Every structure is written in structure tokens, then in C-alpha cells.
Amino acid sequence: MDKEMIKNVVPSHTETFCFLIDIDEIEGQTTRIFQHHFCCRFLDSLPQEIAYEFIKKMSLKKFAKGDRIIHQGKKLENFYLILKGICGVNVERADIFYDIDKLGSGEIIGAEALFNEKVSTAHVHAETDVELLCMSGKQFEKLALEMPDLKSFMTSVLVHILSSSKLPDNRMIGKYSVTNEIGHGGAGIVFKGAHSVLNMPVAIKMLTHEMSMDPDFIELFRNEAKTIALMNHPNIVKVYDIEEAYKTIFIIMEYLEGATLDNVLENVEKLSLERIIDITIQVCNGLEYAHNLGIIHQDINPRNIFLQSDGRVKIIDFGLACRRGSVDSNFLFPGSLHYISPEQIQGNPVDERSDIYSLGITVYEMLTGEKPYKVTEGKDILKWHLEEDFDSANIYMENLPVELRNFFMKTIMKEPSERYARVSEILKELDPIAKRLKIERPCFCRQNQMMGMFLVFQEEQQLLLKKYIEEFSRKISETGASLKVMRFED
């Protein structure tokens, strides 16, 4: 065989996101065309024309049965999509080979090359004669600059690796192991995982590559993530750690048992007034804490309010959070349109009152199961937020306690200056009805944390160590913490 090349790619007429790939096989003066029917789930996220061009840019490689395609521990330069045949995956430990998996048409091997991972974690061989579509990691990187939609291919591949790989090393993000996918949104994918040493359950949010490979966005995100990680409040999801791997960022958070408010609203006919007030007060407690730190959530809605099975409420997903007074152009994620404040639409600086507006829309939805407007088109929703006044004679309003009616009408004023200035004013407004319903506002008290360490030294080192400890203590004091030293005899 002198040469083989991909001649043409057209859509399959029988299955969605499957392709008919024409391969030219040139031998001497003779050219033969072979057609392959190829389906690949990793291409589902791509526009069809991008998928065509991507496949056309790949080269065809053939391996005979028994050939080693990828060597464990060796640097990976290429990744492959299996066009035809079966590949076997095995791991070598102490000169013993352990079979791990068998992969067929449409699967990927050598995916580490996509993410600049240096070496393969397993051997891959041809279980049968195989034909593979091949591309180098460097070529893909250049192609993704020309066709940014290819970043979604990276995300699809990585989600598969983290949720399905039979190689434990491939499912590690720093010191955390991924177990399964539990959620999928516009900006990221959420997995359940565990700390590899403590075996503590965690939620791991992975940013999509479209987001993580945007230099402007990622720098803002890193700065905000560091701030959010410092928050410590019972009504805000706790961020434990931030890891960077596979050309994206992972946020390690506490794992919550329960459901988001939007899921609850879809599955119950109506929430009790007591539960609605309780949820609203708990969300207000979390918002008050964040606002006191100068952090504006920017995306309060039922998807980002989590109801735990023990009754506690957590605000989640601070992915769009910003500092008070910021102007953020990244607000139009799916779902946010229904709850967005007029000033966000207009591109004006945001503050506490933007979150208060979104909270008002959310509370109305809890009360009625509906949005406070009847329009459904995006442009009409934006117009309502900007211009349309809510009908205070609405039948739902007439049956509400006066405190709740006042709360709602004031939260959704178009002009920020006419809303509550601070969440503390809302809590004061709702206090009478909370007392009547015997809903207590919990007191959040900051608790001191302690860390222990042991210093083992010889007598002659004591003087120098005392100097170092004094310097260290001064630096600790500058953070507001304190260092306590106790002496023990060995």
C-alpha cells in the first residue's frame, strides 16, 4: 500500500452525528475508495460542519492485530479515534500485565495528548486489525484556535474520562478521586468525588474548556475563586480547594444531599408558606454574609438554591460572582435571563440590589409556580425586566400576608434606588411573619479553627529556632490569627 487518505466526509442518513467517511487507498496507479460508517459520541457537541472539517484534518493509521499502539509511561504526542476494529487496554505492574478494557469504533485512545499530559497511564494494543483516525495534540491545539468550537470536544472527552475510565489514575484531580457525574450546566459539569486520603465526599465542578481557555475570563475567575474560597457560612456552599488540570479548572466543594429548588418546584404542587419563608430567610442570611464581604452573586435563581434533606438551605454556584460595583458582561447563561436585574441588562454596575431583584422573582415563583410575567420570548422577557410594571392587583398578591406582599413589590422595582438597599432590611421586613409562623433565624457565630504541628529539634538549635518562631508569629498576627507555642519533653 503506497498511500491512504481521507477523501470526503458526509453525514449519515440513518443516525444522528454519524458520518460516512470515504478513504482513498492508492497502490501504484490504482486508487480504490472505501467507505466507513463512523459514529462518535465525542463529536455530538460540535456543529456538523465543524465535525466534518475536524475529521478531514485527521490522518488514517492502520495497525495489525497484536501491534502496540501506545506504550505505558511513554510520552504521548497523538490521540486516536477508532474507526474500525478493537483495541485492548492493559496496565503493567511489576512485569505483570492486567487487562483493563476493550474499546471499539467511535472510542478514543491516547486522549492525554489533547491535554498535554506527558505520559500514558496504560498500554494500548490492537486486539484485531484496526484503522484509526489520528491527530497530534499540537495539531489539535492549532486547529482549536481556528475553530473554537473544538473546545467542546475536549470537554466531552474529559467528562467521559472522569466519569467512565477504568484507570483510577485518570480519574484523579489532584488529591481528589472522581466517582460519577451528578450535574451539567452552561458553565461547567459537576462530579461527585472523594478526598483520596480522608475519604471525605466532595462535589467537583469542572469548568468547560470554552470558559477555562478564555484568558480574560479565567483570570477574573481565579481572583474571585480565591475570595469565594474564604467564605464560611452555613447558607453558602463551602469551597475547599481549587485544582488545575487537563487544561481547565476544578472547584472542590462540600457535597450536598438534597435537591436544587428548581427540581423541587418541578416535583411538588405547592410549597407551604412556612417553607417559603424559611427558604427566603436562609437565602437572605447567606446573601447578607456575602454582601458584607463585597461579593455579589449575580445569578440568584432556583437552580442556584440547594435544599438539603435536613432542611438547611445553601446558595451554590458563585461562578458569576463579582465585586460590588463591577460591570460584568458574562451574565447571560441559560436560565439567568428570567431572573436578571435591569441594571445587569443595561451593563450598569451591580450591587446588593441586583441580587435582591433576582431573589424577588425567585420568591414569586415559589409562591405561585410561575414567573411574574406571561411572555416567553427572550427579547420580551428583557423588555419586561426593563419596562413593564407588575400588576399589584394580581390575585396571588391579594392572598399574601402584607409583609410578603410588601417584600415582593419592593424587590422587583425597576429602579435600584427604590428597592431594599440591603438584605438586612428584608430580614427586618419578614421578621413579624417569621415570628407568627415560629420560624427562627439562626445565629451564625464564627468559630475559631485550630491547626497542630510538631517541631523536633536539638538543644543547640533552640536559640536560632526561637528567632524563626518569633518572626513567624509576627507574620501570623498580621493575618488576624495567633500562634500558641507549648513545650513538650521528648
Q: Collect all residues with Cβ–Cβ distance below 8 Å to 395 and sequence separation of at least 6.
A: none
Out of 149, 169, 262, 299, which one is annotated catalytic?
299
Please indicate whether residue 310 is annotated as part of the active site.
no
| Rounded CA Rg of the chain | 28
Return d(Cα 210, Cα 218) in angstroms, integer.
Answer: 10
Q: How far apart are CA 400 and CA 433, in angstroms?
A: 11
Say how far apart CA 374 and CA 295 lie, in whole Å.
Answer: 32
Distance of CA 280 to the CA centre of its chain: 25
Q: Give, in order, the Cα–Cα distances in Å from 422 to each of 240, 288, 291, 296, 408.
A: 28, 8, 8, 12, 14
| Contact assessment for residue 235 and residue 228, using Cβ atoms and an 8 Å cutoff | no
- Which has the closest alpha carbon to 205: 218, 187, 220, 219? 187
d(CA 63, CA 50): 27
Alpha carbons 240 and 232: distance in angstroms, whole number:
10
Rounded Cα gap, residues 186 and 175, in angstroms: 26
Q: Which own/partner pairs from 335-344 qualify as long-range (CB within 8 Å, at least 24 positions apart)?
A: 335/186, 335/301, 335/303, 336/299, 336/301, 337/378, 337/381, 337/382, 338/301, 338/371, 338/381, 339/299, 339/300, 339/301, 340/382, 340/385, 341/385, 341/416, 342/385, 342/386, 342/414, 342/416, 343/416, 344/298
Catalytic amino acids? 299
